[in-house]
Amino acid sequence: MKILGIDTTGQTAGAALLDGDRLLAEFSLNYKLTHSQTILPMIAELLERTETAREDIGFIACSAGPGSFTGLRIGAATAKGIALALGRPVIPVPTLDALAYNVYETDGIICPIMDARRQQVYSAFYTWTDGRLCRETDWMAESIETIIEIAEGFEQKVIFLGDGVPVHRERLAENPDFVFAPAHCSQQRAASVAVLGRILAEEKKTEQNGEFELIYLRKSQAEREREERLSRKGEHEE
């Protein structure tokens, strides 16, 4: 069973191809170009280099958020298009779960943080228990101070990773129990999406016809601005 993994939810765009327990290939790019420019050529190159026919793909695992609103929609549109063309199911993989999956079998707390702008991060807390990654909190969009407060409540080592780390590293480094994942496992990886997608597929957590819901956690900037305009308009009418 070959699984195509796709992640465009953050600064890094990635595609990976998994065949059972074997990672055949993974492409990642975190450099200037937009995801709309990179993800389809990545997938095409991935299939060509691994001599994989499109029909050999059994599932499309797509990172489903939270993350960049534009990036989420690019990834979702790509996954849905491929799924519909091939008649294959999509496996929606929560972005924070896949990001936490980069850190394997640690006795510490894993805390991915993604820069959500507006002084917030997307985050959740995880542990490894009996060989399974377990989420200890809900996914959340909170200030870094709230995340630090929750992390300190565990009273043990907390491993931070994600593109929110460079933004808040100085503040996080004030606590000696906070450590940072190295570069090769600190960003979104399509391989983690594919591997976690395989587990979800075995649990029958797939979606047919390319349909799946994205995880936003908060409203888009366009939605917030619209609400603010309507609110100001209502105040003037009063």
The whole-angstrom separation of Cα 175 and Cα 2 is: 43
Quote the pTM value: 0.90
Q: Which of 76-80, 130-134, 216-220, 230-234 has the lowest mean pLDDT?
A: 230-234
Residue 1, pLDDT score: 80
Examine the pLDDT at 227 and tell me if it is beyond 50: no
Q: What is the H or E stretch that residue 79 is in?
A: helix 69-86
Phi first, then psi: give them for residue 110, nearest 5 degrees: -105, 130
Examine the pLDDT at 97 and tell me if it is beyond 70: yes
Structure tokens at 98: 């896949």
Q: What is the average pLDDT across 120-139?
A: 96
The whole-angstrom separation of Cα 111 and Cα 233 is: 41
Q: What is the average pLDDT across 114-120?
A: 91
- Identify the residue whose tokens are 């309507």: 230
Residue 230, pLDDT score: 46
Q: What is the average pLDDT across 189-206?
A: 96
What percent of the chain is predicted at pLDDT more than 70? 91
The whole-angstrom separation of Cα 202 and Cα 46 is: 24
Phi first, then psi: give them for residue 237, nearest 5 degrees: -70, -30
- Name the band, by pLDDT with cuts 50, 70 and 90, for residue 206: very high
Q: Dihedral (C-alpha) 188, 191, 197, 198: value to the nearest 10 degrees?
A: -160
pLDDT digits (tens, 9 = 90+) for 17-53: 999 999 999 999 988 778 888 999 999 999 999 999 9
Helix (H/G/I), strand (E/B), else coil: 2 = strand
Give burial (CB, 10 Å; 0-12/13-18/19+) of 64: buried
Spell out the domains of the chain, with CATH numbers in brackets: 2-95+188-221 (3.30.420.40), 96-185 (3.30.420.200)
Helix (H/G/I), strand (E/B), else coil: 132 = strand
Phi first, then psi: give them for residue 9, nearest 5 degrees: -85, -15
pLDDT digits (tens, 9 = 90+) for 141-179: 999 999 999 999 999 999 999 999 999 999 999 999 999
Residue 211, pLDDT score: 83
Residue 34, pLDDT score: 84
